[in-house]
Structure 1
Amino acid sequence: SEIMAEEDIPKPLSPLFPAPAIDPEVLKGRRQEIVDWLATRPSPTASANTTSFASQEAATRRTTPHEARVQDDEDLDVLLPRQLEDEMTFGPPPAVDGFMQDAETDNPSKGPADGVFMSSRSHSSVKGSWFSRRHGLPPLKQVSAGLMPSTFRNAAWRVHVRGWLRSRLAVAVMMTALAIALYMPDIWVSAAVPSNLGVDVVLSLVMFLFFAEIVLLSLVDVSYPFSFFFFMDCIGTITMISDISYMGLGVDATEPQKNQSSERDLTLFRATRTAKIGARAGRLSRLVKIMRFLPGIGISRGKAANEAEKLQQISNQLTNVLSKRVACLTILLVIVMPLFTIGLYPEGDFSMDVWVQALSRRAQDTSPSAAMEFHATLAQFTVFYASKDYGPYRVCVAGNTALPQGCTHLRNSRFSAPERKHFQLEVVNSPVTAYFDFSVPTRAEANVGITLISLVIVLMCGACLLLNYSASELAVRPLERMLTSIKKSAKAIFSSVSALEPDDDEEDFGEDMDGEVALLERVVRKIATLAELSSKKNPFDEATMTGMKSEELGVLALTTQHVRSVNQANEASSETLEISRNEVTVTMQWQLEEIGLAYEIVDSWEFNALELNEQKQEQISAWLLMNNPGSCNYTEHHVGIQKLRAFIGLVSTGYLANPYHNFIHAVDVSHTVFRYMTLMQADKILTMLEQFALLVASVSHDLGHIGRNNGFLTEIQHELAIRYNDRSPLENMHCCKLFEILAQPLVNVFSSVTPEQYRDVRKHIIEVILHTDICQHPAMVKELELLYEINSKVFEAHVPGQLSEQEIEVLSTPESKKLVLKTILHAADTANPTKPWPIAQDWAYRCLEEYANQGDQEKKLGIPVQMLNDREKVNRPNSQIGFIEFIITPLVAAEVKLFPSWYEASVLLEQNLRSWEMLWIQESSPGEAERHKVSERVQKIATILGSAVRGGQLGSPARSSRRAR
């Protein structure tokens, strides 16, 4: 049970009680400091139970951190001084008695050894200024917080007072007192008790209880003074004066009523009655505090046991706030509505004055028949009120009259003198005074007051229960279904969290994340990111493309040809043989020395295939396929070296003498695939057969290339375009020629695999080669970004130099493995801009020369010349800047996030980009505006690449170790 004002309206939902945002880690540290201190250094004023519980709680926090984080607030109140709760609301103070803290910097992250010990006196001197600096506190609360001495805030008695105020006994006492304050004055009147002594004593005691509660709450709860409930409680307590007779404003039961004959008197009487009703209704504000006891409205303070309880807590919090608003509105209406009748013309009963005036005239008449007329009028007077609920029971005549002086009891009247004198109304018109019995109307008014209070309570409770039902049906039930679905998706999306931090699994999906709403927010944010990536088509709008040069537009045109990707679903299986990663035997090095290469060059980006003659190109290709660290054990036992060399020789003859797409390019791509797999520890993700198949695909991926792109073949209706229906005709041809070679038994390097394994190998090779089509590039980049976003927690936790179990698990799924295979070959195929500058520049010029040759043929055929193919118009450095910006940067940024060991690609790409910029300036001599524009583009690319390379990855690249055999 809770009776504290700041808990009556939850801070996250109520504008009346703003809760400043506090770093959870800082708060957690402060809480742990206090718990540990209490466990090791008990306060002399604290009870043994408190010390024991603190020690037990400290042990609990050491053993079960999650359970300690979700301890009930009531337990924390018993465990800790109020200072802890104040820190939860306002942040940590500069110093706490017995703690070491830096008072000047107000740094809550500092531990006990970082600051200077502060006494209670110095702590008190800075407390007020600390409170006034807290953000989010209303001015009145800053004042109340600043005026509260630290001795009060940190005193042990405050813990006991709060505990007592929350006890069931205290709640029962205050609820009983509230019922007495609401009902007893009217019940006393309805019972026609002659004296107010009893009700005055009881109401005085109730008023004292209310006042004591206000004082105690103000002392133990810093957020209570000057809050909404503080003012309402003060108003309700002060209005008790109107029901206590000896305080002057209450009704004295022994005093009869006097008739108000004038309009002014009636207006004053009505205003007084309205004020009384308003005062009584103002006391109803305390009813808001008991709304939590209604079914389904009280806020659960403990840990939810299951999903239904968590959802119910959401409903309870929402309903709790709305119910209090409804209750306050109901009370306000009860108070305000009677005020509209005060200014109206008073509707009073003037018959009593008329009759008494008539009797007075008869009494003053000195004629002989005056006495007879007086008694006749008196009889009519009695008969007139016979059918009413009130009427006269006695008439008195005084003064100089012809009638005998004295009082006459009306024998025919059914009314009599009431025992409670206040029920008696005296109407005076000298020399006659009439006494009326108003017992029935007054008691009826009291009964109506009781009914009104009861009706308000019923309406408040009924409206709150109905609101709770509506919230459950319209919000909680749909939310439950939605959260159930999202929970499943969230566990898939955030599966990495539970894998990385098993102890914090419930924290991610439980109450420490602000409940299910926080989970919903996280999932929706993640889904929004994924949706943005999925729906992203072209980042360049028409306005952006309007300002592009032909070289940049030509780069974009490379990815816009319509091609449908081929989806292969099965994972290639292979036997797995034990082998240590990155091991190179002495024999392997001898083989390299025979070729004329050092292993240190091959195992770096300084390797330049353009420097090798044809024989060395074939030899190094065979060496790469045979001695890849992740698959060398397979090739040693299942691939004959002579067969492999014959295969390489046949493949090399299948390449044409193009400037770019030639066998040298195949050797370069094979080396890049070799390096990528070594750096990323591919043996932990891919089988040896899959790695070997990828190397075979890399050396054959442009087999038979004719030096023209797919767009050209489609434009002229080339035989290949017709054969493959304009869908990646070149890539389909490369696959076809490769498997034509493998169909020859003497060169089939897969002859030792089973038919099932061969089918899987064939699927993998076809898929990765088809995805070297540049038109597949945007979709692949999107897939990489999606894979990272879905498993961002896993990849962000990467440890340099090794793959975690979680990364291996994510990358080893069938779909992820297919993406990894495609990415390795496609990244290697487009890796020229990520090589050292001399190598990158040489390959770029070769590629542009091949484009220019195609442009020359396009001119001869009279077909449109593609924008990068006109040798007379293309600015070579600018075309490479555009190629890097639009094609390479998105791919490198995505791949480096997934494979941080590839970070050198990002570093070299940025260096080459700046080299192309300088070369462009030297060759083109651009104006200042154009130069500035290109510089901004380069800087933007550098920023993207820099953000992709995570901290801690810039270490030495992985190198293969050596092992003697």
Structure 2
Amino acid sequence: MSLKLNVLSLNRTDLYAHALSLFVRSNVHKVLDLSVSQLLDFLIDVADKYTKAPYHTFYHAVDIVTILYYLCHDLNADMYLTDLDKSILLVAALCHDIGHPGFTNSFQIKTQTELAEKYGGTSTLETYSVHLTMELLDKHSTANSHVVRDTIKDLILSTDMAYHSELVNQADQLVRLVEQSRKSSSSSSNKRKHCTSTALVPSTHLALESRTSLCRILLHAADISNMARPWVISKQWSDLIVQEFFSQGDEERKRKMTISPGMDREVCSQPSISLKFGQLILPYFESLVSLLPKSHVFVDFLVANRARWERLDQHKQSPTTIRRVSSDVRATSTTTITTSPSIASATAIKYKRIRLGFRSKSFPTVLYHHHQHHHYQSNVIIEKNNLLPLVNFKSSLLYDTTKTNIESIVLYHPYDQ
């Protein structure tokens, strides 16, 4: 996996394939006792619950899942976690912004929306996402354990930015705990040097509470990682979140409300917003490096991107027309909008269609999948008793054409290279 993977380059169908591959490779379906077909059903139903807000979409959800997969499998966070921990983490990540309307918790409370009235004034949207997630878990009869569901709820609620400072403290505490564990394991290294299983290494043994804390830390890191990604990807996500911010600011102005900080297009600029956010999250990623040394890559990108934003901040930009990505098919369908100088792009957003394909015994380039009911309305419609070209994804596949379902998938991801 690579941080160069840009989910915004995928159309809707490829996005499902990508998300499915990460869940299958992480054995989520086995841990939750789902077939791959049932897992795909769940993914599609989750996607259907996301709105068409500029930023908080299913694309954002899959992006966070992608970064978590990278943290776990490439940066070695999974050495501290069980398979169940990772499965809970990925499900929480996929669902953490379900139903997000594109307006903040503060806006919900100030305008006394139905969501605020129903879900309260603390973490309103996150509580709403928890509610929708539990409904979907019920529908798919999975993750039925109270412990599993309580942990999913805990993780989703922790994505409220109001808990950022608390998570910084949790990260620092976990760093100290892991360092103590490493010292302890070092003192007994002679006893362990003949062990063949890495599972016996004490440094990887964390109590349940500490593992849950680590999951919160990782999920938050992924959720705020846009500024710590390669510039082209980081800039695209910045364009989307600023669109969402300024839309809220416009609505607040229309209602003659006090405009929320960072959301007034007449006062704030995209570079200034990005620089402030980068300054806020830098200490968090520096703490993460103490836990996962390889995660310095995020700090490196943060520093490099900060320099780019500083240069943009120094130059007054004229109004620019940028392309807003469609919420359904981001690789093939865009809408042109005119924005203020603060959203001006340093470079045009360009979407490159990534060619991905299945390798199978019976169908060399296309995976066909049998679904039992309508799932969503998009450019791809899955209907009862239809064999539908579902994904265009590079994999090895064992496929039973008689049962018309996926028996097993041995996935090979192009970004492994």
* CA distances 1:921-957 after superposition (whole Å, capped 9, x unpaired): 23379xxxxxxxxxxxxxxxxxxxxxxxxxxxxxxxx
Q: Which residue pairs with 1:775 in the alignment?
A: 162
Change (3 A) 1:961 1:647: closer
Distance in 1 separating the partners of 2:13 and 2:93: 18
Q: Which residue pairs with 2:308 in the alignment?
A: 915
Distance in 2 separating the partners of 1:665 and 1:798: 39
1:896 offset after TM fit, Å?
1.2
Distance in 2 separating the partners of 1:855 and 1:908: 29
1:827 offset after TM fit, Å?
0.9
Distance in 2 separating the partners of 1:961 and 1:795: 33
Read off the aligned partner of 1:882 and give its amino acid letter: K
1:808 offset after TM fit, Å?
1.2
Distance in 2 separating the partners of 1:883 and 1:682: 25
1:923 counterpart SS class: coil
Distance in 2 separating the partners of 1:669 and 1:779: 20
Change (3 A) 1:829 1:868: same
Q: Which residue pairs with 1:786 in the alignment?
A: 173
1:815 offset after TM fit, Å?
2.2
Distance in 2 separating the partners of 1:961 and 1:732: 34
1:632 offset after TM fit, Å?
5.8
1:787 offset after TM fit, Å?
2.7
Distance in 2 separating the partners of 1:798 and 1:828: 29
Alignment gaps of 5+ in structure 1: 1-602, 926-959
Asked whether 1:619 is paired with 2:14, we answer no
1:725 offset after TM fit, Å?
2.4
Change (3 A) 1:683 1:784: closer
1:689 offset after TM fit, Å?
2.0
Distance in 2 separating the partners of 1:923 and 1:835: 25
Q: Residue 837 of structure 1 contacts residue 912 of structure 1 at CA under 8 Å; is this kept in 2?
A: yes
Q: Which residue pairs with 2:147 in the alignment?
A: 760
Distance in 2 separating the partners of 1:827 and 1:777: 10
1:690 offset after TM fit, Å?
2.0
Of residues 827, 832, 836, the one that matches 2:226 is 832
Distance in 1 separating the partners of 2:184 and 2:305: 30
Distance in 1 separating the partners of 2:300 and 2:199: 21
Within 5 Å, give how 1:567-606 maps onto structure 2: 603-606=1-4
Change (3 A) 1:672 1:761: same
Alignment gaps of 5+ in structure 2: 187-197, 319-411
Distance in 1 separating the partners of 2:100 and 2:273: 23
Asked whether 1:896 is paired with 2:289, we answer yes
Of residues 679, 689, 699, the one that matches 2:74 is 679
Distance in 2 separating the partners of 1:797 and 1:878: 45
Read off the aligned partner of 1:866 and give its amino acid letter: S
Within 5 Å, give how 1:345-384 maps onto structure 2: none
Of residues 194, 208, 216, the one that matches 1:822 is 216
Please give the TM-score of this superposition, normalised by the length of structure 1: 0.31
2:262 counterpart SS class: coil
Please give the TM-score of this superposition, normalised by the length of structure 2: 0.69
Within 5 Å, give how 1:785-804 maps onto structure 2: 785-789=172-176, 791-792=178-179, 794=181
Q: Which residue pairs with 2:48 in the alignment?
A: 653
Q: Residue 654 of structure 1 contacts residue 704 of structure 1 at CA under 8 Å; is this kept in 2?
A: yes
Distance in 2 separating the partners of 1:707 and 1:769: 17
Asked whether 1:863 is paired with 2:257, we answer yes
* CA distances 1:39-87 after superposition (whole Å, capped 9, x unpaired): xxxxxxxxxxxxxxxxxxxxxxxxxxxxxxxxxxxxxxxxxxxxxxxxx
Distance in 1 separating the partners of 2:182 and 2:267: 44
1:639 counterpart SS class: coil
* CA distances 1:474-514 after superposition (whole Å, capped 9, x unpaired): xxxxxxxxxxxxxxxxxxxxxxxxxxxxxxxxxxxxxxxxx
1:782 offset after TM fit, Å?
1.1
Distance in 1 separating the partners of 2:134 and 2:199: 34
Within 5 Å, give how 1:42-61 maps onto structure 2: none
Q: Residue 852 of structure 1 contacts residue 870 of structure 1 at CA under 8 Å; is this kept in 2?
A: yes
Distance in 2 separating the partners of 1:704 and 1:660: 12
Distance in 2 separating the partners of 1:612 and 1:827: 23
1:685 offset after TM fit, Å?
2.4
1:743 counterpart SS class: helix
Distance in 2 separating the partners of 1:666 and 1:961: 19
Q: Which residue pairs with 1:881 in the alignment?
A: 275
Q: Which residue pairs with 1:807 in the alignment?
A: 203
Change (3 A) 1:804 1:708: farther
Give the number of the structure whose alpha-carbon radius of gyration is greater.
1
1:679 offset after TM fit, Å?
2.7
1:833 offset after TM fit, Å?
0.9
Change (3 A) 1:731 1:961: closer
Q: Which has the higher strand share?
A: 2
Asked whether 1:736 is paired with 2:113, we answer no
Read off the aligned partner of 2:134 and give its amino acid letter: F
Read off the aligned partner of 1:787 and give its amino acid letter: L
Q: Residue 679 of structure 1 contacts residue 902 of structure 1 at CA under 8 Å; is this kept in 2?
A: no
| Segment of structure 1 superposing worse, 725-734 or 860-869 | 860-869
* CA distances 1:655-711 after superposition (whole Å, capped 9, x unpaired): 111110011101101111111111343443222122112111111111011000001
Change (3 A) 1:644 1:732: same
Change (3 A) 1:710 1:692: same
Of residues 831, 838, 841, the one that matches 2:235 is 841
The size of the alignment, in residue pairs, is 310
Q: Residue 643 of structure 1 contacts residue 748 of structure 1 at CA under 8 Å; is this kept in 2?
A: no
1:748 offset after TM fit, Å?
3.6
1:789 offset after TM fit, Å?
3.6
1:641 offset after TM fit, Å?
1.1
Distance in 2 separating the partners of 1:919 and 1:798: 48
Q: Which residue pairs with 2:337 in the alignment?
A: none
1:876 offset after TM fit, Å?
1.2
Change (3 A) 1:682 1:875: closer
Q: Which residue pairs with 1:607 in the alignment?
A: 5
Within 5 Å, give how 1:203-602 maps onto structure 2: none
Within 5 Å, give how 1:31-50 maps onto structure 2: none
Q: Residue 175 of structure 2 contacts residue 291 of structure 2 at CA under 8 Å; is this kept in 1?
A: yes
Point out which structure has higher relative CO (alpha carbons under 8 A, 6+ apart): 2
| Segment of structure 1 superposing worse, 679-688 or 717-726 | 679-688
1:788 offset after TM fit, Å?
2.2
* CA distances 1:125-169 after superposition (whole Å, capped 9, x unpaired): xxxxxxxxxxxxxxxxxxxxxxxxxxxxxxxxxxxxxxxxxxxxx
* CA distances 1:366-422 after superposition (whole Å, capped 9, x unpaired): xxxxxxxxxxxxxxxxxxxxxxxxxxxxxxxxxxxxxxxxxxxxxxxxxxxxxxxxx
Change (3 A) 1:924 1:764: same
1:792 offset after TM fit, Å?
3.9
Distance in 2 separating the partners of 1:798 and 1:876: 47
Distance in 2 separating the partners of 1:923 and 1:748: 55
1:873 counterpart SS class: coil
Distance in 2 separating the partners of 1:842 and 1:804: 43
Q: Residue 228 of structure 2 contacts residue 299 of structure 2 at CA under 8 Å; is this kept in 1?
A: yes
Q: Which residue pairs with 2:245 in the alignment?
A: 851
Q: Which has the higher helix share?
A: 1
Read off the aligned partner of 1:815 and give its amino acid letter: E
2:261 counterpart SS class: coil
Asked whether 1:641 is paired with 2:41, we answer no
Q: Residue 286 of structure 2 contacts residue 299 of structure 2 at CA under 8 Å; is this kept in 1?
A: yes
> CA-atom RMSD, angstroms?
2.6
1:718 offset after TM fit, Å?
1.5
Distance in 2 separating the partners of 1:894 and 1:804: 26
Q: Residue 29 of structure 2 contacts residue 35 of structure 2 at CA under 8 Å; is this kept in 1?
A: no
Distance in 2 separating the partners of 1:723 and 1:778: 27
Q: Residue 621 of structure 1 contacts residue 699 of structure 1 at CA under 8 Å; is this kept in 2?
A: no
Asked whether 1:690 is paired with 2:88, we answer no
1:749 offset after TM fit, Å?
4.2
Q: Residue 647 of structure 1 contacts residue 749 of structure 1 at CA under 8 Å; is this kept in 2?
A: no
